[in-house]
Amino acid sequence: MAEFDREWEIVLERAKRDKTITGVHDMLHKWRHLAYRELKDPGAYYRLLATLEQAARRGRGPEGSVPGFEVTTLIGDRLGRRVG
């Protein structure tokens, strides 16, 4: 809940500054998915954070992950065009 509250304050300040609620919608959309996952698999959010922390310490993505640029290239290849 503390993480949500921190993010909520930041998003609200941006919304006030920019006079748009797009960021609020984006944040609520993200948290809705996290809340659903947590409902189905309690502790999933903290396991995700732990995985990200380990990856940051190692300086590379989680075991078995693929770098973003490779994913973008694969998508572009499958769509028959250059992406990114």
Q: Is 58 left (phi over 0), alpha (psi -120 to 50) or beta?
A: alpha
The answer to whether residue 40 is domain-embedded is yes
The answer to whether residue 48 is domain-embedded is yes
> CA-CA-CA-CA torsion for 30, 45, 54, 60, nearest 10 degrees?
-30
Which tops the pLDDT comparison, 47 or 83? 47
Q: pLDDT (tens digit, 9 = 90+) per residue, 32-58?
A: 998 999 999 999 989 988 988 888 888
The answer to whether residue 47 is domain-embedded is yes
- Band (pLDDT 50/70/90 cuts) for residue 29 is very high
The answer to whether residue 84 is domain-embedded is no
When divided into structural domains, the chain yields a total of 1
The answer to whether residue 68 is domain-embedded is yes
Distance CA 41, CA 53 (A): 20
Owning domain of residue 63: 2-79
pLDDT given for residue 54 in this prediction: 86
The answer to whether residue 75 is domain-embedded is yes
pTM of the model: 0.55
Read off the amino acid at residue 56: A
